């Protein structure tokens, strides 16, 4: 069965699983809408700790998904035809009037980072809106599946841990995967890039009795896996690093949280080849 036939078969089984759903329903949930930007006023303004410029949309018709406060991402105009997804900058709607909308293009970090992002945005690029909030969960699941596929292909056995566990069955698992090779098993935690600044990873954890800060503990997992989707647009692009504190014995390690030496820094720089992050699991598996 070729890929096209498999896709048709999968959609049939999916619609059968959710009785009453249609292809139109699936499309509305899984595919964000994309609306061209009509104009950009490149006068930089500041609000709080961030920077923004103003933009407009002229759809010419009412759109129930354009509403004050609605946020989204701006992607290249070419993404509609090529499928090459990339987040250029973030957007937020301020006002809507009969299909026309005004809002702000914004991005976290310094003014220099914001202006660098802004240079890449042009009129005609697309405001992408996740209509029903499903794509974030789909993206998260796809990153996990991509990691498992890559690890399996490299000869590792991967077990996905339960997202939650009944109290009478034991303690909560603070990591995402158990990975085994040659009778050795290690704990893995999968994270993403920081949406505010995609040059950095987002290594956070819910606060609790063992977590006085929302930063991950070093000893919770052996290896961090960070999906680079937000930067590259490819769900299969992954970076790996050892979950150890950077010191003389571990020059490849991660920086610690300023006030909590047992916890990793929440937003460390993440770049493959910088001595801390690696492109393959084999490269980090045997690091002490």
Report the C-alpha gap between 137 and 132 in whole angstroms. Answer: 11
- 6: CB partners within 8 A, 6+ apart: none
The pLDDT score that the predictor gives to residue 163 is 79
Across the 288 residues of the chain, what is the mean pLDDT of every consecutive 10-residue run?
88 92 91 94 89 93 90 91 84 93 91 92 96 89 96 97 78 88 96 90 86 92 96 93 97 96 96 97 96
CB 239 within 8 A of CB 233: no
Where do the H-state alpha helices sit in 62-134?
Answer: 79-82, 111-119
The pLDDT score that the predictor gives to residue 82 is 78
Other beta carbons within 10 angstroms of residue 235's beta carbon come to 16
CB 203 within 8 A of CB 241: no
Report the C-alpha gap between 188 and 179 in whole angstroms. Answer: 7
The pLDDT score that the predictor gives to residue 210 is 74
The pLDDT score that the predictor gives to residue 41 is 97
pTM of the model: 0.86
Q: What angle do CA 153, 156, 161 make, to 5 degrees?
A: 110
Query: What is the set of domains in the chain, with CATH numbers?
Result: 1-26 (no CATH), 31-129 (2.40.30), 135-285 (3.40.1350)
Report the C-alpha gap between 275 and 287 in whole angstroms. Answer: 12
List, as one string, the DSSP characters of 137-151.
HHHHHHHHHHHHHHH
């Amino acid at each position: 069965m070729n890929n096209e036939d498999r896709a048709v078969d999968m959609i049939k089984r999916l619609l059968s699983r959710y009785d009453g759903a249609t292809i139109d329903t699936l499309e509305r949930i899984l595919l964000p809408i994309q609306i061209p930007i009509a104009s950009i006023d490149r006068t930089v303004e500041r609000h709080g700790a961030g920077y923004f410029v103003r933009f407009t949309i002229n759809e010419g018709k009412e759109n129930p998904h354009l509403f004050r406060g609605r946020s989204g991402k701006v992607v290249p105009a070419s993404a509609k035809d090529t499928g090459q997804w990339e987040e250029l900058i973030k957007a937020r709607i301020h006002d809507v009037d009969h299909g026309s909308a005004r809002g702000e293009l914004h991005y976290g970090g310094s003014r220099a980072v914001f202006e660098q992002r802004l240079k890449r945005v042009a009129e005609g690029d697309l405001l992408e809106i996740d209509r029903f909030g499903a794509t974030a969960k789909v993206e998260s699941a796809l990153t996990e599946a991509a990691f498992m596929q890559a690890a399996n292909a490299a000869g590792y056995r991967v077990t996905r841990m339960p997202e939650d566990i009944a109290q009478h069955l034991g303690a909560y698992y603070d990591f995402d995967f158990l990975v085994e090779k040659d009778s050795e098993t290690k704990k893995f935690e999968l994270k993403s890039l920081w949406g505010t600044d995609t040059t950095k990873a987002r290594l956070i954890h819910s606060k609790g009795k063992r977590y006085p800060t929302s930063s991950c503990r070093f000893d919770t997992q052996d290896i961090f896996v960070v999906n680079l989707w937000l930067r590259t647009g490819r769900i299969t692009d992954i970076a790996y690093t050892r979950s150890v504190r950077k010191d003389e014995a571990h020059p490849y390690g991660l920086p610690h949280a300023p006030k909590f030496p047992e916890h990793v820094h929440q937003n460390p720089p993440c770049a493959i080849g910088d001595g801390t992050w690696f492109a393959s699991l084999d490269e980090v598996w045997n690091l002490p």
